[in-house]
Structure formats: C-alpha cells, structure tokens
Structure 1
Amino acid sequence: MTAGVAVCTALLLAFHRAVPGGPGSLLESFLPWLGVVVVVLLPLGAARRSALALIALLLPVAAWTYRFGPLLLPAPEPRAGGLVVVQHNVSDENTDPAGTARALARAEPGLIALQELVEPARTVYERTLARDYPYRTVRGTVGLWSKHPLSGARPLDIRPRGVTEEWERGLRAVAHTPRGEVAVYVAHLPSVRVGLSGLASSRRDESARLLGDAVAAEPTRRVVLLGDLNGTVHDRALAPLTDELNAARRGLSPSFPAAFPVARIDQVMARAATVESLRTLDATGSDHLPVLARITWE
C-alpha cells in the first residue's frame, strides 16, 4: 500500500499535465503540497520495515526535489543595477490602507503594484505613497507606484466575455529606470472556484490568454508583470504567460490566504530579465501577503 501511494505521488509530480481539465488545474495549483504525502509515508514505511516501501519513497522525493528543490536554495547576493518590486492585492475590505502603504514602502522597492483599489482607500494609498513614489498611474482597481518616471500609461483590456459591469483590472506603463526602459504590466485576473470537478476558471483562463497576447505583442524588450493572477505558475491555464515570461528562480512563498498561505497566486514575472528571488512580506490588512522580488537584467 505504502509503495503504491509513493509511486502514484511520483507520477503525479512528474506527469501532472496528463491529468485533464479542471482536476488537472486544481492539482497543479497545490502541486508542492504533494511533498506532504512523502512526509506522512516515510514513518509508515519505517514502522513496517519495508525495504520496498522505502525504496519506492525515493521516487516522489526525487521528483519533488527536481521540481521544487531549486526554489528552496538561498537567494543569490543582490547584484548592482537590479530592480526590487513589490506586488500586493491590498483587498477592498482593508481597514488600514495607510498602514499597508507604509509597510510596503519600508521595503524600499522601485515599483509597487496594487490591486483591489477602491475609494476612499485609493486616495489614502496615493497620499501615503506620494513622497517616496512621485510617479503613479491607476486604472480602475489596479495601480502602479514608481520611484522612476513613467510614460505611455494606458488601460489593458483583459475583460473576459460575459462581464458587463464596469471592469478595469489591467494596465501597462513604461518605467524609465537607470538601466533603461521596462514595460510594466499590472493585472488582476478573475477569481476561480474550487469544486468537485476541479477549478471553475473559464473567466480566469480567458483573461490570462488576453494578457498573454498583450505581453507577446509588447514592443519593449524588457517586460515585468506584477499581478494577482489567481493561479500558480504550475497551473497550465497560465501557460500563455509562463511561455512568454520567466518566473522566480528562488522562493516558494505562498501568498494566499494570509492567515494560512497555501498557494502563491501573487506573481512577479519578467522577460529579458531574471526574477532572482521572491519572498513574502509581513501580513497587512489584506487577505493576501505582499510579495517582494529582485529582478536583474539580461
């Protein structure tokens, strides 16, 4: 029994794309948690003194280490000339927007991307961040604050079909950093529902495709995407983005829900650049944890 479960776990880790549809997307959203199966099975195999079970357990250990082990390695020393960014869904129910803004600014990033900006909290973020971040652009419920000049700011149409209400959850701007121009995308993809059939995510998936098309057509060579994508980088539905952009090399860092994070759905990705490391910051008044990433240019 133990050996059979170990082999199945290894197969799921190695061939998760073979699981179809919603169940496959749900599996990929929580793929790192398959490591818990190994932790549970190890003492069972030892208690039974089963050589076969212990040997079989090497399969999921190897598969998990191959896929996620590099993320656990220490982050490299920051290189000069890079860019530090913060991504945070601040929650439209956040009762302390000023405290949240101050907490993000203390990390001293060059860029801060926020989602779920609503009045009157939006005005509080603008006022609190104004001194350290003189450049900003806000479109609908998403915004970008920058230490560097911004140009070419415009809304990004990632609205899925069937959404008729007011819905602006994407923007694009160019940040003029000391190392050159970088196109910055800020996005908040639709939420998903978890059910017996897996993830109900058609709107999220369509919005991801639209965002991926926009990134693919972006003429600026360097691109940074900051967003609440409501999906992990292992989720096949985000392939339009992960095919175009690099994800973080270091840091598992689950960001949601803040009380007990189980998945990182807040992402920082880049093109013609490397996301060297990513980590979460302390909790704010949001149900998401902020994530901080260090980016170096190719």
Structure 2
Amino acid sequence: MNQALSPARRRPHPAKGITALIFGILYASFLLLHDLLPTRMGIALIVESLLPWTGIFLALVLLMTLIRFSWLSVIGLVIPALVWTGMFGPALLPNQSAGDADLKVATHNVGARMPQPTAAAQNLVDQDPDIVTIQELESLSGKIIHKELDSAFTHARVVDTIGVWSKWPMSEPEEVDLGLQWPRAFATTISTDHGDIRFYAVHMPSVRPGHESMRNAALRRLSTVVKTDSADHVIVAGDFNTASTDGNLSTLVPQLEDSREQARGGFGFTWPARFPVTRLDHVLYRGFDASFDEVLERGSSDHRAVLAGLDLK
C-alpha cells in the first residue's frame, strides 16, 4: 500500500521560485533596455528620471525569495541585483576628495517665489565658490539675489534670467541659440589664475510628460555648440531640466564629464528640494577632474544648489 511521503522526505517542487526568477529577469531586462521605452505620454521621461528608485523592485524579488526559497529564486534575485549595482553602484561609492580644488563652481535655480532670497544668496557665498551661475533671476527674489551676489563678487555677467558671478574677469556674454524665443544660455571666457576657461551658463526649457521635444531640441543645439568649441577647459553648468539617467542628456555627456558621476558620494538629487528624487542641476566639463560634488541643504527654492570642486588636468 502506497504511503504519503513525510514532510521531511518531500522533494521541492521543480517550479518553486519560478515567479521570482521570471520577475527578476524581466526587471533586469527593463534596466538594460530602458532606452527603448516609448516617449509617448512622457513614459520614458518619467521612468528614466526615477530609474535609480526602481531598485525597490529588488526588495520585492527578495521577499519572493524568502517566501519561496529555491535556487531559481536566488538566481532571480542575483541577476537584477548585479545589473542595478553595475548601473548605479559606482555613484554610491564614497568620495575620495584629496583636498582643496583648483576652483569651485556653484549652480542654483532660485525659483520664481523664493521667500528668503537674502539667506539663499548668503548660503552660496558662505561656500566660497569661485564661479556661481543662477537661473530664474526675473523674479523679485531673483533680483534680490542678484544684488547680494553683486556685492560679494567682483565680476558679473547677466543675460535675461540667467547670470554668472566670478572672482575673475569675464568676457562679454555670447548668447547661445537654443531655438527658443528668449535667451536661456550664454557663454563667456573667464580669465582665472589657472588660465582661460570657457563657461556656459544654461537653463533648459521646463518639461512636462509628453511635452519634452523643446527641451530635447535645445539640448541637441547646446551639444553642437559645445562640440565645436575649441577651448581646452570648458564648464557647462545650470538647470538642465534633465535627469542624470535621462537618455537625452547623453548628447552632452560623451563630450563632457559629470561632476557627480566622477566625484561619487551618492546620487546627488536636487529636485524637488523638500524631498529630492532626481537630479536636474549639473556641472559638466572637460579638461578637469572633479574632486567633490555637494548638494547644499534645502533652502527656500524648489531646487537645491550644487557645489562642485574641479581640478585642471
């Protein structure tokens, strides 16, 4: 007569953990192929802007593994974990700063309705940057910040709603045509103690899901201008309205390096200021190495300021 196997003698079902395996492989494939996401309705914009946060799915796979533990579920966890770590792990490594940088560059979108503009300006000045670029100067708060920075820096250049302040002399601003009806970028040559530096101050068009074509076109125009610039030392800084993980930023990144990516120390999210979930503000460059990249404490703007330390190569 057949007898049922005791629990201790039961063999594991061959399909145990298959759900975790399938889910893990699908998530890993999504990470590797995210640049194929459709742009309709802003799907790619939203997903790529929040891409590091999709690591929460690893926790879901881990939970599946703990509930239905098997070699299949372990593989389903390891594969996406390796892919996520390969993509985002380097950014989480600690910063290896070796001391003071040759120059410090700050960028901040001060917003249209900043309730404490004087404090925001002083917060930047207290960091002792060599070069500062500000976006959204058209508001009353922006005008107050403009005045405060004028008193702290010897040299300034302002075009419409964006400005650059420097400890060193600057050439007359040259507007960069981004295909818009109003100026949103300009270039100037800064005569630093380390030689001439070509500095681009930028504020890309705002973007909403499904309406990113204007911003993308502006990025391509800026990329063309920077590519044809023969200067050995170039800095492009400001509010790009483009996340570090947004594929559209790749039009600039192959030519330039990113201070946060090189300096490491975390993702460096800057927006929204109260609880940042993505990085829209960048310091990009060539001819330098980044020794540090800091996101300043939340002020009263909807963006947090970025301070980067750069060393000439």
TM-score by length of 1: 0.90
Alignment of 1:50-89 (within 5 A): 50-80=70-100, 82-89=102-109
Q: Which residue of 1 aligns with 2:138?
A: 118
Q: 2: distance between equivalents of 1:116 and 1:207?
A: 17
Judge conservation of contact 2:112–2:142 (CA < 8 Å) in 1: no
Look up the equivalent residue of 1:72 and give its one-letter code.
L
- 2:23 equivalent to 1:5: yes
Cα deviation 1:214-259 (Å, max 9, x = unaligned): 1112222111111111111321222221122111311311111112
Q: Which residue of 1 aligns with 2:128?
A: 108
Judge conservation of contact 2:269–2:295 (CA < 8 Å) in 1: yes
- 2:195 equivalent to 1:180: yes
Look up the equivalent residue of 2:288 and give its one-letter code.
A
Query: 285-294 or 119-128: which moved more?
Result: 119-128
Q: Which runs of 5+ in 1 are unaligned?
A: none
Query: 228-237 or 122-131: which moved more?
Result: 122-131
Aligned residues: 289
Cα deviation 1:12-41 (Å, max 9, x = unaligned): 222222334353343322221121111232
Q: Which residue of 1 aligns with 2:11?
A: none
Match for residue 277 of structure 1 among 292, 296, 308: 292
Look up the equivalent residue of 1:226 and give its one-letter code.
A
Look up the equivalent residue of 1:237 and give its one-letter code.
N
Alignment of 1:1-298 (within 5 A): 1-22=19-40, 23-80=43-100, 82-160=102-180, 163=181, 167-194=182-209, 199-248=210-259, 249=262, 250=264, 251-298=266-313
Look up the equivalent residue of 2:215 and give its one-letter code.
R
Q: Which residue of 1 aligns with 2:3?
A: none
Judge conservation of contact 2:237–2:283 (CA < 8 Å) in 1: yes
Q: 2: distance between equivalents of 1:131 and 1:171?
A: 22
Corresponding residue SS for 2:220:
helix
Query: 238-247 or 204-213: which moved more?
Result: 238-247
Q: Which residue of 1 aligns with 2:13?
A: none
Cα deviation 1:131-168 (Å, max 9, x = unaligned): 431111110111111122212422222134xx4xxx22
Q: 1: distance between equivalents of 2:85 and 2:51?
A: 12
Larger Rg: 2
Corresponding residue SS for 1:293:
strand
Q: State the superposition RMSD in angstroms.
A: 1.8
Corresponding residue SS for 2:304:
coil
Q: Which runs of 5+ in 2 are unaligned?
A: 1-18
Q: 2: distance between equivalents of 1:77 and 1:37?
A: 33
Q: 2: distance between equivalents of 1:136 and 1:202?
A: 32
Q: How far 1:119 sits from its partner (Å)? A: 4.3
Q: Percent identity?
A: 30
Judge conservation of contact 1:25–1:237 (CA < 8 Å) in 2: no
TM-score by length of 2: 0.86
